[in-house]
């Protein structure tokens, strides 16, 4: 199971960069608001390659379902719009070894790691908590670029927030 | 008038409009929106909503708005489709924008309804994708024989 934090959720980079080349067969999107949106759920199902399942779950449902799946591996991509969903999952006992921090675009960002990673104070704090729970955090926009371990950066960047 | 908004990754939209305006001259109610690396789905949706509202303000786009995006499934398209639920104004969204599609939209917008223009631009955009070498070769072969 691949776990990615990306506030654009299912978009070009994820579909062309991850889902197609890695042959992802199941996408799980964790969001409290998405399932209430009139357009987005259908859109998310429409844009994936044929035969790929898309599941929209709220955090509670995701905690329940991913506990079993996390261990089983398989070609599943889990997308969350912010670090807070990831932290809730970890606290609920979902075993995540690596969390890919793919895209965060804070409006009043205090720090920018890369063009697609701008963090506000609350995201920074949440990522720090995920790290402290023993999860490896990697910034990696697409699989063909090397992942960057965020632990050093998080350790040093506290003064920015 | 039908407004045209081109929404793409990076500066494809503004550059494509620049190219089109070299051919057709400066255009009214033709706007390019670029998705920058630091844009979120939310900020892009707001940008497009702003452009749609601007176009509707003064009643200049009373005949509707045609949005042309680059890639199906990408943030420019996702954010454009979000407008359909957000406004009651007639909006059409086409993906895979290329210069033939944009040229067709510009050329035909004063004489067609929004639905007709959308169909025409889609057709012309698809027709503009050709295997140029094989067309040339088949003509050369035909001339020789």
Q: Which of A19-23, A31-35, A120-124, B71-75 has the lowest mean pLDDT?
A: A31-35
| pLDDT band of A127, cuts 50, 70, 90 | very high
What's the whole-number mean pLDDT along residues A10-20? 93
What's the whole-number mean pLDDT along residues B48-74? 90
Closest chain B residue to the Cα of A107, Cα to Cα? B43
The shortest C-alpha distance from A119 to chain B (Å) reads 11
Task: Identify the pLDDT of residue B89.
Answer: 83
Are B47 and B80 in contact by the 8 Å Cβ rule? The answer is no
H or E element that contains A112? strand A111-114
Q: Which of A11-20, A116-125, B54-63, B114-123 has the lowest mean pLDDT?
A: B54-63
| pLDDT band of B33, cuts 50, 70, 90 | very high
Q: How far is CA B31 from the centre of its chain?
A: 9
Task: Identify the pLDDT of residue A108.
Answer: 80
Task: Identify the pLDDT of residue B25.
Answer: 92
DSSP single-letter state for residue B57: G
Query: Is A11 designated active site?
Result: yes
Alpha-carbon dihedral sign for residues A47, A51, A52, A54: positive
Contact B71 A12 (CB under 8 A): yes
Closest chain A residue to the Cα of B44, Cα to Cα? A8
Residue-wise pLDDT tens digits, B90-127: 999 999 999 999 999 999 999 999 999 999 999 999 99
- Indicate whether B80 pLDDT > 80: yes
Contact A105 B43 (CB under 8 A): yes
Are B114 and A51 in contact by the 8 Å Cβ rule? The answer is no
* Helix ranges restricted to H, chain B: 12-24, 41-56, 75-86, 99-108, 114-127, 132-144
When the pLDDT of each residue in chain B is averaged and rounded to a whole number, the result is 92
How far is it, in rounded angstroms, from Cα A161 to Cα B61?
Answer: 45
Task: Identify the pLDDT of residue A70.
Answer: 62
How far is it, in rounded angstroms, from Cα B39 to Cα A6?
Answer: 12
- Nearest CB to B41 within list A8, A38, A48: A8
Contact B38 A37 (CB under 8 A): no
- Indicate whether A4 pLDDT > 90: yes
H or E element that contains B30? strand B30-35
Interface of A with B in 87-146 (CB under 8 A): 103, 105, 107, 112, 115-116, 118
Interface of A with B in 57-86 (CB under 8 A): none
Buried b (16+ CB within 10 A) or exposed e, B42-59: ebbbebbeebbeebbeee
Residue-wise pLDDT tens digits, A107-123: 888 889 988 899 999 99
pLDDT top residue among B31 and A107:
B31
Residue-wise pLDDT tens digits, A38-97: 778 888 899 999 999 999 999 999 999 998 776 666 689 999 999 999 999 999 999 999
Backbone angles phi, psi at A37, to 5 degrees: -75, 140
Q: Does the predicted TM-score (pTM) go above 0.95?
A: no
Task: Identify the pLDDT of residue A134.
Answer: 95
How far is it, in rounded angstroms, from Cα B43 to Cα A103?
Answer: 13
């Amino acid at each position: 199971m691949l776990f990615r934090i990306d506030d654009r959720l299912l978009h070009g980079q994820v579909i062309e960069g991850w889902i197609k080349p890695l042959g992802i067969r199941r996408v799980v999107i964790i969001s409290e608001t998405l399932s209430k949106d009139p357009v987005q759920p259908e859109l998310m199902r429409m844009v994936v390659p044929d035969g790929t399942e898309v599941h929209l779950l709220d955090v509670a449902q995701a905690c329940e379902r991913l506990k079993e799946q996390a261990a089983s591996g398989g070609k599943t991509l889990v997308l969350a719009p912010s670090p807070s969903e990831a932290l809730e999952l970890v606290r609920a006992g979902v075993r995540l070894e690596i969390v890919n921090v793919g895209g965060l675009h804070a409006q009043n960002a205090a720090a920018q790691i890369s063009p697609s990673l701008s963090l506000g104070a609350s995201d920074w704090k949440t990522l720090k908590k995920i790290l402290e729970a023993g999860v490896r955090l990697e910034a990696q926009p697409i699989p063909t670029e090397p992942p960057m371990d965020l632990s050093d950066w998080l350790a040093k960047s506290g003064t920015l927030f | 008038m039908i407004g045209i908004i081109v929404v793409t990754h990076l500066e494809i939209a503004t550059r494509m409009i620049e190219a089109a305006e070299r051919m057709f001259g400066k255009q009214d109610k033709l706007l390019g929106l670029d998705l920058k690396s630091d844009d979120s789905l939310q900020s892009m949706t707001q940008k497009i909503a702003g452009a749609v509202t601007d176009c509707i303000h003064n009643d200049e786009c009373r005949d509707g708005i045609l949005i042309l995006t680059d890639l199906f499934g990408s943030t420019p398209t996702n954010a454009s489709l979000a407008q359909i639920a957000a406004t009651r104004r007639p909006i059409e969204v086409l993906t895979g924008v290329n210069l033939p599609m944009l040229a067709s939209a510009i050329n035909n917008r004063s004489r067609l309804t929004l639905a007709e223009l959308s169909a025409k631009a889609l057709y012309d955009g698809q027709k503009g994708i050709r295997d140029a070498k094989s067309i040339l070769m088949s003509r050369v072969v035909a001339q020789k024989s």
